[in-house]
């Protein structure tokens, strides 16, 4: 369980969370839904330990390995699509195995022919797919996905959702899936958390 307790987060004068609480079950896919600007990315960044907060406690993230599909695909600009996935794996596997896994996930997201392209040679959607491949390939405990399928065409999105659910069935890791698309959330998730944050209120259903 990831427990967020009594969280307060502000950016200068902007109060994003106040006395915010959320319990996220282990081993399940939980969806975080909410309109643009309500604090979804902020929440993931806090859970991943990437940004600070004023008050509160987060339990259940200690010693956990995260993979994170950022809303703004953070690829290494000096690495090819292949290298972006491969370098995330090389400290964990033998070189040949890392290569095989990287190729497998790049094929899965339909980038087999673009493995040797650099990020600046790829479209926004393709960069996003590299980021998806990298996150799926990395053997994390917790997968954070921030609107990972935004801008994908419907067919690719539905294929990736199916593939994702198959991958997930095998390892059943804890997944936090952020979206503003109720349909995507319903396809993927089991638990739904709606953030309506001005008041830092979370409704669980």
Q: Please count the residues of this chain forming the interface with ligand ADP, following the rule CB under 6 A.
A: 11
Return the number of the residue (14 or 91) whose C-beta is nearest Mg ion: 14
Binding to Mg ion, residues 65-84 (CB under 5 A)? 71
Residue 140: CB minimum distance to Mg ion, A? 20
Return the number of the residue (13 or 113) whose C-beta is nearest ligand ADP: 13
Q: Which residue is nearest to Mg ion (CB)?
A: 41
Residue 33: CB minimum distance to ligand ADP, A? 10
**Would you count residue 148 as binding ligand ADP (CB under 6 A)?**
no
Residue 40: CB minimum distance to ligand ADP, A? 3
> Using the rule CB under 6 A, which residue among 1, 3, 6, 11 binds ligand ADP?
11
Adjacent-strand bridge partners of 202: 195
Q: Which does residue 84 touch among Mg ion, ligand ADP, none (CB within 5 to 8 A, set by kind)?
A: none
Q: Which does residue 75 touch among ligand ADP, Mg ion, none (CB within 5 to 8 A, set by kind)?
A: none
What interhelical angle do 154-171 and 124-137 show, nearest 10? Answer: 10
Residue 39: CB minimum distance to Mg ion, A? 8
- The answer to whether 2 and 174 have CB atoms below 8 angstroms apart is yes
DSSP notation for the chain: -EEEEEEEEEETTEEEEEEEEEEE-TTSEEEEE--TTSSHHHHHHHHTT-S--SEEEEES-TT--EEEE-SS----TTS-HHHHHHHHHTTTS-HHHHHHHHHHHHHHTT-GGGTT--GGGS-HHHHHHHHHHHHHHS--SEEEEESTTTT--HHHHHHHHHHHHHHHHHH--EEEEEES-HHHHHHH-SEEEEEEGGGTEEEE-
The conformational region for residue 170 under phi > 0 = left, psi -120 to 50 = alpha, else beta, is: alpha
Q: Which does residue 39 touch among ligand ADP, Mg ion, none (CB within 5 to 8 A, set by kind)?
A: ligand ADP
Binding to ligand ADP, residues 31-60 (CB under 6 A)? 34, 36-42
> Using the rule CB under 5 A, which residue among 41, 174, 194, 202 binds Mg ion?
41
- The site for ligand ADP (CB under 6 A) is made up of 11, 14, 16, 34, 36-42
């Amino acid at each position: 369980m990831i427990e967020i307790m009594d969280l307060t987060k502000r950016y200068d004068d902007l109060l994003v969370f106040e006395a915010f609480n959320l319990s996220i079950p282990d081993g399940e896919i939980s969806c975080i839904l909410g309109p643009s600007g309500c604090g979804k990315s902020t929440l993931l960044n806090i859970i991943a330990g990437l940004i600070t907060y004023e008050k509160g406690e987060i339990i259940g993230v200690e010693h956990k390995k995260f993979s994170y599909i950022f809303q703004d695909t953070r690829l290494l600009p000096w690495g090819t699509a292949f290298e972006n996935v491969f370098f995330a794996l090389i400290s964990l596997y033998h070189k040949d195995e890392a290569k095989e896994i990287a190729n497998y996930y790049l094929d899965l997201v339909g980038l087999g022919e673009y493995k040797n392209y650099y990020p600046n040679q790829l479209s926004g959607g393709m960069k996003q797919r590299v980021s998806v491949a990298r996150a799926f390939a990395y053997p994390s405990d917790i997968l954070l996905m921030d609107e990972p399928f935004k801008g994908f065409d419907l067919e690719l999105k539905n294929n990736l959702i199916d593939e994702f659910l198959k991958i997930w069935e095998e390892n059943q890791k804890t997944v936090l899936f952020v979206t503003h698309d109720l349909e995507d959330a319903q396809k993927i998730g089991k638990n739904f958390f709606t953030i309506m944050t001005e008041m830092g209120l979370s409704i669980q259903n």
